Each structure stands twice: as C-alpha cells, then as structure tokens.
Amino acid sequence: MPATKDNIITLPDKQLRQRSQKVNVVTDEVRQVIADMKAATLDWEAHRPHELGVALAAVQINKPLKIIVVRNDFEDKNDKSFHVFINPNITKFEGPMEDDYEGCLSVTDVYGKVPRYSKIRMRALNENGEPIRVRAEGFLARIIQHEVDHTAGVMFVDHIENNPEAFYKLTDEGKLEKLDYEQVRSTGVFRD
C-alpha cells in the first residue's frame, strides 16, 4: 500500500518535536521511506485545491530519519518529481533576513510570515548516497531551512510564536487572511 496524506502527522503530535537520526547507509528501508514521503506529499496535494505539496521531512510521516524531499518545480503541479537530500546540513546562512508566507503539511490550516535567511549553502547525500553541495536562494532557500528545521524537531510556528501579527489562514478562495492569535493558540501548535 502506498503512503497517503493520512500518514502525515500534525501538531500537537509531540513526535514532530524529536530530533531525526542520521542515515548511515541508503538501504531498501530508506528507499521505501523516501517513496512514502513522495506519495504522501502528492496525495496531500491532491486533496488541496489551492496548494502545492512543496516539500516534506521524514519525521512528518513519523520516520525520524534525516531525509527531506523538495519538489523540483514549485509552479507546475504536473511535475511530480522531487529532489532528495539525505543528512542535510546547512553550512552557511547569508542575509538579509526576509519575511514570507509559509505553511506546513504538519500544521493544519495555520500559515505564518516567517523570517528566514535569503541564501544558504547545504551539504547532503543524494538518493544514491553520494555527497552533494547545494547553493540556494529565495523560496528554495526558505524551503530548505524549513525542512532542515524539521530534522531538528523545530516547526515554523516556533519562529513566530511571540508575534501575534504573523499568523494567517487560507480562505475557501485560496487567499491568505489574518488569523486571530488566540485562535492559533487554541489549536495547540505552540510548545508547552
């Protein structure tokens, strides 16, 4: 059975706050986790009319391994291919910091304006276990920072939990609107 959106865990599930383990060898089990991550992301997207399933970390399907998958094309839903980064490590953060909107497949119906570095450099292994280096800026840099956070048990809401003005919801028409801070609190997305 391929993984579905129902394999994705969401806050306040505490499993999301754990640190993921390093992958030593790309085994069949690791390859299965990667296939499940892609399938779960695409199934989630199939149920969301206004959003693209941009990326996922393995911990989000409750497999706490340092693996992230990132969509190749953020604009085109028909391109269902992903980059795979194993043991991702951001080696350089470069400014300026920029605020922009983020959502997360593990944070249901809450969006935020999150400060991130505008450029990063990352080292990782690819799907074949070969070392790679990545330089990213803009939206891709943002996504990579968000996903690498997941491998350390950090959620995007943690960056803005003291900023009541930073929260948004998506309307039925697919537009972002301010979300009341008390309403956000009541969803249990913040750390205890």
Residues annotated as part of the active site: 147
How many residues contact Ni ion, by CB under 5 A?
1
Cα–Cα distance for residue pair 143/130, rounded to 1 Å: 22
Q: Which of 18, 21, 124, 136 is nearest to 74 (CA)?
A: 136
Cα–Cα distance for residue pair 62/104, rounded to 1 Å: 15
Stretch that binds Ni ion, among 1-9, 25-33, 98-106, 127-135 (CB under 5 A): 98-106
- Select 44 or 86, whichever has its Cβ closest to Ni ion: 44
Give the three-class secondary structure for 103.
Answer: strand
**What are the residue ranges of helices labelled H in the chain?**
28-46, 138-151, 156-159, 181-186
Binding flag, residue 86, Ni ion (CB under 5 A): no
- Select 104 or 134, whichever has its Cβ closest to Ni ion: 104
Binding flag, residue 184, Ni ion (CB under 5 A): no
- Select 26 or 189, whichever has its Cβ closest to Ni ion: 189
Please name the residues in contact with 136: beta carbons below 8 A apart, sequence gap of 6 or more.
119, 120, 121, 122, 144
- One residue of 104, 140, 148, 166 binding Ni ion per CB under 5 A: 104
CB of 130 to Ni ion, least distance (A): 26
CB of 140 to Ni ion, least distance (A): 15
Cβ–Cβ contacts within 10 Å for residue 2, how many? 11
CB of 61 to Ni ion, least distance (A): 12
The residue whose Cβ lies closest to Ni ion is: 104
Binding flag, residue 69, Ni ion (CB under 5 A): no
Please name the residues in contact with 33: beta carbons below 8 A apart, sequence gap of 6 or more.
58, 61, 63, 65, 67
Binding flag, residue 68, Ni ion (CB under 5 A): no
Binding footprint of Ni ion on the chain (CB under 5 A): 104
